[in-house]
Amino acid sequence: MNITRENVDALNAVVKVDIAKEDYSDKVEKILADYRKTANIPGFRKGHVPMGMVKKQYGKAVLVDEVNKLLQDALNKYLTEEKLDVLGQPLPKPQDDINWDADGFSFEFELGLAPEFEVELKSKKAITQYNIVADDKMIDEQIERIQKQYGKLVSQDIVEKNSEITGVYRNEEREIENTVTLTLDKFKGKATEKQFIGAKSGDVIALQTKGLYNDDHDLMHALKVDHDTVHGLDIEVTFTISEINKRELADLDQELFDKLFGKDAVTSVTELKGKIKEDAEKQFAQQAEQKLLNDVTEYLVDNTKFDLPAEFLTKWMQTAGEKEIDAQQAKEEYEKSEKSLRYQLIEGKLIADNNIQVTMDDIKGHAREMIKGQMAQFGQMNPSDKELDDIAARVLSNQEEARRISEQLVSQKLLAMYKEKANIKVKEITYENFVKEVYGDK
């Protein structure tokens, strides 16, 4: 067998595999001999079928199968030994009718080669790393939400600004009839609020759905309609009040603290505020780190320039999926996935250049910590090492879950490397201002 490669350019190559008769003949003869022992052909005793008849019936199929196996094994071995960084998979060049009666065969494969490039982590303009803090306003609002959640309902005769109103939305034509409990702050604009203030149980209020709620998703749940229906919905509904209540805030006492965090874990309002701040900022840190990872990724993709074997990859995409697609569909698919492919190559180079590795011990340790945190949520604060190891083993027996954890750890290590080596500036900001700055004031 002989394998040669011709580089078309820096990103494309053609590999030629020549297979000689001696590469496959012994294997083919052995398989046919085994077939002869088991062949069941009318007129001949088992094991006594003439070899010529066996070859005539099975020879070509066995030959094709063995040549294909040889071809794939040889190609894979060659790519590994030559350390070729290929994109996609080798594409066989179309061949007209192959003469399977010949003594040898030649096959050609197109290769798409990964480009060579350098990654510059230090951007001219600093990338912002947000340090999101829970300010007093946010903490006080969270405490009020907790007090409302654990407070008690007191019946009212008329609707006031802070009432909780239970009633039924109706529209006969659309077959809407849904019982909900609402508060006036969900409505958009003061006009709707005025319709409710002073109303009594049994009153019927007519409302237009267009612009009724601040968020269309609240309207969707209120009317119990689907997502597609609610957008642009402009009909009249009635709301029949059946119950009016006021929620009295729960006292900030030890009984409430114990309900929230367990006995004596928090013993004062000061400690409560500290705990709320700590828990909130842990969640904010995850969001801020994801934002930083997204921003660095975008910078790297936009500023790391290299060419790709686009024509080859487009052609490869035609047959890479479960269903074959045409050239136009493949072109569209390539255009959609090009940015992702570029980042995969950049990420792979950063991982190699910075020797970023995730070991099995890393994965097991991460799984143990994840399980420990989940058990703590259910009051199991001190699980034994054996319990953690047994559960972790079950979790990691799922290859998909093990792969997901490995990818998380790689992202964490990349993020740590970005913080160390990229041009990062830290900005302290409240969560409210973070949302406004990053996502717009919605």
- pLDDT-derived band at 14 (thresholds 50, 70, 90) equals very high
Q: Which of 61, 83, 113 is the last residue of a domain?
A: 113
Q: What is the pLDDT of residue 441?
A: 55
Judged against a pLDDT cut of 70, whether residue 272 lies above it is answered with yes
Shared domain check, 198 and 57: no
Contacts of 240 (CB under 8 A, 6+ apart): 167, 168, 170, 202, 203, 204
pLDDT digits (tens, 9 = 90+) for 291-323: 999 999 999 999 999 999 999 999 999 988 889
* Mean pLDDT along residues 226-251: 92
Please give the helix or strand (H or E) that residue 164 lies within, else none: strand 163-171
DSSP 371: H
* Mean pLDDT along residues 106-112: 95
Q: What is the pLDDT of residue 395?
A: 93
Beta-sheet pairing, 127-133 with 424-430 = parallel
Shared domain check, 412 and 303: yes
**Within a domain: residue 399?**
yes
How far does the chain reach from its first CA to its final CA, in angstroms? Answer: 67
Tell me the CATH number at 221. Answer: 3.10.50.30
**Within a domain: residue 341?**
yes
Parent domain of 308: 279-439
Between CA 138 and CA 143, with CA 142 as vertex, the angle to 5 degrees is: 120
Q: Are 90 and 315 in contact (CB under 8 A)?
A: no
**Within a domain: residue 97?**
yes
Number of domains present in the structure of the chain = 3
pLDDT digits (tens, 9 = 90+) for 31-88: 988 888 877 777 777 777 888 888 888 889 999 999 999 999 999 999 999 999 999 9
Judged against a pLDDT cut of 90, whether residue 200 lies above it is answered with yes
Shared domain check, 319 and 239: no
Tell me the CATH number at 95. Answer: 3.30.70.1050
Judged against a pLDDT cut of 90, whether residue 347 lies above it is answered with yes
**Within a domain: residue 302?**
yes
Shared domain check, 283 and 244: no
Shared domain check, 298 and 222: no
- Secondary structure (DSSP) of 108-150: EEEEEEPPP-------SSPEEEEEEE--HHHHHHHHHHHHHHT
Shared domain check, 289 and 434: yes
**Within a domain: residue 124?**
no
**Within a domain: residue 415?**
yes
Q: What is the pLDDT of residue 322?
A: 86
Mean pLDDT, rounded, of the chain: 92
pLDDT digits (tens, 9 = 90+) for 118-177: 999 999 999 999 999 999 999 999 999 999 889 999 999 999 999 999 999 999 999 999
Shared domain check, 178 and 298: no
CB contact burial 127-164 (16+ within 10 A = b; e otherwise) = bbbbebbbbeebbeebbeebbeeebeeeebeebeeebb
Q: Are 427 and 126 in contact (CB under 8 A)?
A: no
Shared domain check, 167 and 88: no
Shared domain check, 166 and 74: no
**Within a domain: residue 196?**
yes
**Within a domain: residue 336?**
yes
Q: Are 411 and 115 in contact (CB under 8 A)?
A: no
If you count them, how many residues does the chain have? 442
Shared domain check, 159 and 209: yes
The three-class DSSP label of residue 261 is helix
Shared domain check, 428 and 304: yes
Shared domain check, 370 and 283: yes
Please give the helix or strand (H or E) that residue 298 lies within, else none: helix 269-303
How far is the C-alpha of 85 from the C-alpha of 308, rounded, in Å? 13
Q: Which of 113, 134, 166 is the last residue of a domain?
A: 113
Q: What is the pLDDT of residue 351?
A: 95
Q: Which of 248, 267, 302 is the last residue of a domain?
A: 248
Judged against a pLDDT cut of 70, whether residue 442 lies above it is answered with no
CA 110 remoteness from chain centre: 32
State the burial class of residue 419 (Cβ atoms within 10 Å of its Cβ: 0-12, 13-18, 19+). Answer: middle
Residue, of 97 and 136, whose pLDDT is higher: 136
The three-class DSSP label of residue 394 is helix
For the whole prediction, is pTM greater than 0.85? Answer: no
